[in-house]
Each structure stands twice: as structure tokens, then as C-alpha cells.
Amino acid sequence: MMKKKQPDGPSAEVHLSQDSGHATDQSHSRSDNHHHGHSHNHDHNDDHSHSHGHSHGLGHGHDSSVPARRLKLVLSVILIFAAVEIAGGLLSGSLALLSDAGHMIADSFAVFMSLLAFSISSRSVTRRHSYGFYRAEILAAFVNGLLLAAYALYIIFESYQRFREPRDIQLDLMAWVGLAGLAVNVLSAFIIHPVSKDNLNARGAYLHILGDLMGSVAVLGAAGAIYFTGKLWFDPLLSVAISALIIYSAAGLIRESGHILMEGAPAHIGVEAVREQLLSLSGVEDVHDLHIWSITPSHPMITAHIQVAADQPCSHNSLLEQARELLKKEFNIEHSTLQVEYGPEDLRCVNCEETG
């Protein structure tokens, strides 16, 4: 086998053999600006050529320390007040207060799960987990969504029982504990909200807190309505209303985290828009086998086959670099695996199936 330098890249090689006509170019770009690439050319009985490019953006930029610290603070606040609400609910006989206390206990478990997920996701990659453990956060978000929905359904069932058999309620205690609960939940929501926008795991914990906040509002609303009307059914009625809102929020969390777990394309990245942008590159005739998914919402990935005209000069490294820069600039995709193909249509790799 003979080797000679590839003219289009300082670190590229072309390997020639008598039985191949196949070129493979692998280029890696890591988050620490380390670049390397190599190209292999084997002469088969056809003129078909491939070039592979890989750009990795899963370096060490994933910092979960800030949301983790905030979650620890929120967990402490929740556990302390959950005990207060349980005592208040038992003494006052308020279902709304007990439901809110139970929800806070569920919240503490949800926040603990989120903290555990942050701890797991921060582990380094291994041979068996080459993408790392980022998906632990998505799993925690999915489970938190299920727990939210399950608890809301339980409260609806308990409310039905209270409609059938109303119970006396100590309004003063119910109102004071509900007011304190509102203050605690507002504080917790204020602590965790800044990190919930860009992190699905933190958002799951935040939705639990938001559900608690709405529960506290329901407690105060029920206490006021019962005080002015004497109708005890306001307590379970408002509990059902808040539970419905919680189920709505939980459904969104389950849908979004489930979409990621099922390898769905990120909502903010249009597959056809990516295809059109790649087709706009000079010499590109077709883009197929295009797949876009994400490890987490902040870690989108892409694989694609790019076909160039048969008469284009063989400068794979240049085209791959243009494609990677385009994907990063236009779609914030830092991890890409691209294969360049050139040659007549009938010589395209039999393993490639055109998707559009």
C-alpha cells in the first residue's frame, strides 16, 4: 500500500490500494479547539467516494453546579414547611391544606431526584457511555412529570370523596398556614426559576414548586369562600381546579422529555431548514440520510450524507469545515457527523437511502 499527503489539509492522508476507489475523510473538532483529520482513498471497481466528518461539542461545558445549589436550598425550605402544613392540615381538617402538604412532600422527592440526576449527569464519559450521562436529567424530568400527574389524579379522587362527605374545617388555621405556604412557595419559585428556563431537569422541579404555589392559592381561596358563604364544598372544588392545572403542566413536561428520549428532532431546529442550508453550500447536489436529535435540549446532534457533483475537486476537509461552521452558526449544532459522497447517481452507496 502506498501513502501520500492529501493536498487539501495539513493533517489529511490518502491511502491507495489496487482494489478500491473509496475515500473517507474524518475530521474532529472538539470543544478545546483540538482538530485532527484523515482521509482514506481505496480503489474499488467504481468511482464512488465518501468523506466522513465528525465535530464533537459535548466537551466539559455542562455545568450543573449552579442549578444544583439552588435545588439544595429549595429542598431544605420545602421539607421544613411540609411538616408545618401536615400538622396544620390535620389540626384544621382542610383537604386543600393536606393536599398541598402532600404535594410538597412529592416536591421534595422530585427535587431530590433532580439533584441526583445532576450528580449522575456530571460524571465523565466512559467506554460504555460515550455520550456521558446527560440523559439522567431527561429521565428525571420524565419521572417528575409522571409523579405530578399521578398526584393530581389522587387529589381529584380525594376531592370527590369530600364532595360526598363534607367535613368541618378550622378556617383560621387553614388560612394562616395557607398564607405561610404561599410565601414559602413564592420564595422557592424565585430561587429555582432562573435555572429552569434552559434545563429540562430543573424545569421539572420548578413545575412541582409552581404546582405547590397554586395549591397555596387554592387553600387561601377556599378559606375565603367558605368564610363568606359557609359552603364547605369550595375546599374540594378548588383542589380539583388546581389539580387540573398541575396535570396540564405535567403533560407538557412528559411530552417534551419523552420526545427527547424517543430521539425526536429538537422543536427549535427545522429538519428541512437544515437541509436547505446544507444544499446552499457550493457544489452540494443532495442531502440525504439526515437525522437530527438531542441528548438534552442544549446538546443537539446531527448526522447526514452530503452528495457533491462528480466534477467537483476533491477537497473534503474544506467542505466539511464549511458545513460544520454553518450548522454551528445557524442552528447552534456543535456535534455533527457528516459523510461526503461524490460520483454519478447510480454509484451512490447502496447503504444510503434518500430521505427527501
Residues 6+ apart with CB under 8 A from 252: none
Burial zone of 120 (CB within 10 Å; 0-12 exposed, 13-18 middle, 19+ buried): middle
Q: Which is more confidently placed, 158 or 324?
A: 324
Q: List, for residues 148-167, the tens digit of each pLDDT value.
A: 888 889 889 988 888 888 87
pLDDT band at 341 (very low <50, low <70, confident <90, very high): confident
Q: List, for residues 15-65, the tens digit of each pLDDT value.
A: 333 333 333 333 333 333 444 444 444 443 444 444 455 555 554 444 556
pLDDT over 50 at 288, yes or no: yes
Residue whose C-alpha is closest to residue 82's, from 169, 220, 180: 180
pLDDT over 70 at 217, yes or no: yes
d(CA 239, CA 221): 10
Give me the residue label for grid cell 402532600: 102
pLDDT over 90 at 347, yes or no: no
Report pLDDT for 142: 92
Residue whose C-alpha is closest to residue 226's, from 302, 143, 167: 167
Please provide the size of the chain in residues: 356
- C-alpha cell at position 85: 402544613
Among 242-246, 302-306, 332-336, the minimum mean pLDDT is found in 242-246
d(CA 245, CA 213): 12
Residues 6+ apart with CB under 8 A from 311: none
For 30-90, strand residue ranges (E) read 35-43, 49-55
pLDDT band at 12 (very low <50, low <70, confident <90, very high): very low
d(CA 189, CA 184): 9
Q: Which is more confidently placed, 56 or 312?
A: 312
Q: List, for residues 110-140, the tens digit of each pLDDT value.
A: 788 788 888 887 788 888 888 888 888 888 8
Residue 189 contacts residue 214 (beta carbons within 8 Å)? no
- Would you give the DSSP letter of residue 239? H
- Dihedral in degrees, nearest 10, Cα atoms 198, 200, 202, 206: 100
Q: Which is more confidently placed, 271 or 7?
A: 271
Across the range 297-325, mean pLDDT stands at 84
pLDDT over 60 at 145, yes or no: yes
Report pLDDT for 97: 66
Give me the residue label for grid cell 369530600: 162
For the chain, the distance separating the N- and C-terminal CA atoms, rounded to the nearest angstrom, is 39
For the chain, strand residue ranges (E) read 2-5, 13-16, 21-29, 35-43, 49-55, 284-294, 300-308, 335-342
pLDDT band at 351 (very low <50, low <70, confident <90, very high): very low
* Strand pairing report for 335-342 and 300-308: parallel
pLDDT over 70 at 173, yes or no: yes
Residue 59 contacts residue 87 (beta carbons within 8 Å)? no
Across the range 186-190, mean pLDDT stands at 88
Q: List, for residues 239-274, the tens digit of each pLDDT value.
A: 888 888 888 888 988 999 999 999 999 988 999 999
DSSP 3-state of 25: strand
Q: Which is more confidently placed, 100 or 350?
A: 100
Across the range 322-342, mean pLDDT stands at 91
Report pLDDT for 265: 93
Across the range 200-208, mean pLDDT stands at 81
Burial zone of 215 (CB within 10 Å; 0-12 exposed, 13-18 middle, 19+ buried): buried
- Helix-, strand-, coil-residue percentages of the chain, each rounded to 5: 55, 15, 30
pLDDT over 80 at 76, yes or no: yes
CA triplet 14, 20, 24: central angle to 5 degrees? 45
Q: Which is more confidently placed, 109 or 188?
A: 188
Report pLDDT for 8: 42
CB atoms inside a 10 Å sphere around CB 292: 22
- Please state, rounded to an integer, the average pLDDT across all residues of the chain: 75
Give me the residue label for grid cell 440520510: 289
| pLDDT-above-70 percentage for the chain | 73
Q: Which is more confidently placed, 347 or 292?
A: 292
| pLDDT-above-90 percentage for the chain | 17
d(CA 258, CA 144): 12
- C-alpha cell at position 318: 474544506
Give me the residue label for grid cell 377556599: 222
